[in-house]
Amino acid sequence: MTQKRHFDTDLDDLRARLLRMGSLCEEMIHYAVKVIVERDSAHVAAVQEWESQVNRLHIEIDEVCLKLIALHQPAAGDLRFLAAALKINSDLERVGDQAVNIAETATYLIKEPRIKLGDIPRMVEVAVGMLKDALDAFSRGDVELAKDVIHRDDEEDRLKSQTFNELVQLMQSDASAIQRGMDVILIARNLERVADHATNIAEDVVFMVVGKDIRHPGSRPPQE
């Protein structure tokens, strides 16, 4: 096998590891929210186990990326892929952290009487959908799908604000709901951050494929 074929195989393996890491993060979010919806703290153990796997992959992927850059001195396209992989790796690790935060907050929340969850279920659907599609865009080099993910971030922001407003009104009318309301607001912020990380990944896909940095205001693609 030639050196180029070895390198291509290593890139495929790297892509597979990142997608595996992303899949674990998706499961972590789902199970973290299950703690609240099903009022069952048993799901926390699964989230914690997956966090260990995500953390291991985080270290392994960084090492692989740096090794490939050092050994192969890749050309522009492959170098952008490796640069994107490093940044996506970091964002996925942080998504895992957000899932852990949700699970930990939920363990306190379910010990108290039930409270309105506002748009939390819809926020989960949007955030996980964005993350899944951002990773699909990365896997296929699909710029249009990446742009679609970026535009969906506005919906997650709207849902977070709506949930925040509903819970503030509840806490103003019922002082006994203040702590529980703050916990749900915190979970909404965690989910918003998941969507932000998915947006980061989508932006990295655009850079990887076309070499354009769209991370800052004024550089994003127009919404059609």
Write a three-state SS string for 149-190. HHHHHHHHHHHHHHHHHHHHHHHHHCHHHHHHHHHHHHHHHH
Domains of the chain, by residue range, sit at: 3-210
d(CA 145, CA 150): 9
Q: What is the pTM of this model?
A: 0.91
d(CA 35, CA 70): 44
pLDDT per residue rounded down to tens, the chain (224 residues)? 566 778 889 999 999 999 999 999 999 999 999 999 999 999 999 999 999 999 999 999 999 999 999 988 888 889 999 999 999 999 999 999 999 999 999 999 999 999 989 899 999 999 999 999 999 999 999 999 999 999 999 999 999 999 999 999 999 999 999 999 999 999 999 999 999 999 999 999 999 999 887 776 555 555 65
d(CA 32, CA 27): 8
CATH number at 3-210: 1.20.58.220
